[in-house]
Structure 1
Amino acid sequence: MTEPTISQLPPMPDDWQRALAVVAHPDDLEYGCAAAIASWTDAGREVSYVLATRGEAGIDTLEPAKCGPLREREQRASAAVVGVSDVGFLDHADGVIEYGPALRRDIAAAIRRHRPELVITLNHRDTWGGTFWNTPDHVAVGRATLDAAGDAGNRWIFPELTEQGLEPWNGVRWVAVAGSGNPTHAVDATDGLERAVRSLLEHRTYIEALTDEDPQTYARGLLTGFAEEAGKRFGNRPAVAFELFPR
């Protein structure tokens, strides 16, 4: 009996110059797709980050007033490792982000401001791979990002943004969802994987609260495992997989 053939993923489109990554928390991108972002910035593409929260409710032993600024600093340092200097925060409340017009408007405003061709977000579905329950924040931000990619181009949705000088931007060509259980494309992570590990390690306070494992061992083992698993569908090269929604 022959082994089943694993369907291979095509490479992500590369005919773009600007990307905007929109996620809920500090560290979401570092767990999800930093190796791909490193490869894109290496190629001279512009990538900016927008985070819905500052992750202030993410560490049980640290009160939000102290946790938020610390995690913001860690996020900025983490982004710099993979060549991203533009990091913004929407200041929604960590843990209780609400999907709805207010969130869509804030993300649409960010898209109009940055004018990306590619928008990146994190798994917006109820589960991770049909097994582990996703968090409400990830679901809300992922779903709102998919919707806001269209909102950003319609001047009659959130007309107050135009009044604020943010002209409609209908130039988003794709929304790429990292961490999806239904990937359609992938990016070679070979050159970016080492920096992705270093980028995740910048979230040291969070990692040390999360696990007793040595942070270096934890970060390297986790990201290498993710890349190797995705690589089974990408010519056995380390990879970051995305579910790509064209617009």
Structure 2
Amino acid sequence: MLPDVDPRHDPPRLLLAVAHPDDETFGCGSVLAHAASLGWETTVLCATRGEAGEPAPGFDLGGRSLAEHREEELRAAARLLGVGRLVLLDLVDSGMDGDPPPGSLCAADPATVTEAVRAVAAEVEPDVVLSLDAADGHRDHARVRDAAVTVAAERGVPAYLQALPRSLMDRWVAHMVEARPEMAHLQYADLGTPDDEIAVTLDGSAHLAVREQAIALHASQTSPFEGLPPDLRRDFLARDHLVRA
């Protein structure tokens, strides 16, 4: 599935480390589904319950916290994507900006976050570690990315980062400036990863239906693909772009 992964286990083992519920689906859903279809053992480590997110317009919390809904959605989506094990840490979503609240991912000592990823990796013994490249500007994504890359290097296994080519993000921004100009992500310049830095492009079209179902399970959140023209939505969801860390 990945060119320089030399599995030490049969079946191979993949560890995905992310910051929030929905990162596993919006970012890496097709990779997880593809790995599961090949018989790989997949583990997802999620650092927070996404407390700082905003409910999608019209979503009824029903007297429950957003964190409860998002954890439930994460577990359901992970099952659908064939994830064998889910590990949820007790850190809090830092939000996009401002002083990170006490107990949040970015208020924690980076060494503490790395140790949490290290402990899970010691149990899983992954053949490859995957995370997001954080080119969207979210500080929580960057904190988990750095921990995942560090742990992969310590273990001597490849680390890949899910990325979105800048050319694709430019098309997304052009659409969103018209459709949702209030989005926080639009304040960041040069969203996405330069196209020439993409190391691997995986064809996820065979898993598109499952990924769409997993996206729908995250009903409390507005998907970044919501309302996109069909061709742009498919270009986001039918291929996965990875950089080698």
Report what 2:120 is aligned to. 110
Structure 2 counterparts to residues 108-147 of structure 1, below 5 A = 108-124=118-134, 127-128=135-136, 134-147=137-150
Question: Is the 1:197–1:219 contact (alpha carbons within 8 Å) kept by the matching residues of 2?
Answer: no
2:174 corresponds to: none
Distance 1:103 1:187, change over 3 A: same
Please list every run of 5 or more consecutive structure 1 residues that lacks an aligned counterpart in the other structure: 1-9, 129-133, 154-169, 228-237
| Paired residues of 1:146 and 1:175 also in contact (CA < 8 A) | yes
- CA distance in 2 between counterparts of 1:223 and 1:92 reads 32
Q: 3-state DSSP class of the match of 2:91?
A: coil
Partner of 1:22: 17
| 1:31 Cα deviation from its structure 2 partner | 1.4
Number of positions where the alignment pairs a residue of Structure 1 with one of Structure 2: 195
Structure 1 residues 223 and 145, CA, compared in 2 at 3 Å: closer, same or farther? farther
1:148 Cα offset (Å) = 2.3
Whole-Å separation in 2 of the counterparts to 1:179 and 1:94: 21
Equivalent-residue separation in structure 2 for 1:19 and 1:12 (angstroms): 14
Report the residue type matching 2:152 in the other structure. A
- Which amino acid counterpart does residue 122 of structure 2 have in structure 1? R
Stretches of structure 2 that go unaligned for 5 or more consecutive residues are 95-99, 165-192
Paired residue secondary structure (1:26): coil
Q: Quote the Cα distance in structure 1 between the aligned partners of 2:121 and 2:239.
A: 27
Q: CA RMSD in A?
A: 2.9
- Whether the aligned pair in 2 keeps the contact of 1:26 and 1:72 (CA below 8 Å) is yes
1:19-98 correspondence to structure 2 within 5 Å: 19-59=14-54, 66-95=65-94, 96=100, 97-98=105-106
Query: Partner of 1:7 in structure 2?
Result: none
Displacement after TM superposition at 1:225 (Å): 2.8
Question: For 1:174, which of 155, 158, 161 is the aligned residue?
Answer: 158
- Structure 1 contact 12–186 (Cα < 8 Å) conserved: no
**Is 1:205 equivalent to 2:220 in the alignment?**
yes
Is the contact between residue 33 and residue 207 of structure 2 (CA under 8 Å) also seen in structure 1? yes
Shift of 1:149: 2.1
Q: Distance in 1 between matches of 2:229 and 2:140?
A: 23
| TM, length-normalised to structure 2 | 0.70
Which residue identity is paired with 2:241?
A
Cα deviation code 1:7-43 (max 9, x no counterpart): xxx9645653000000000011211121121111011
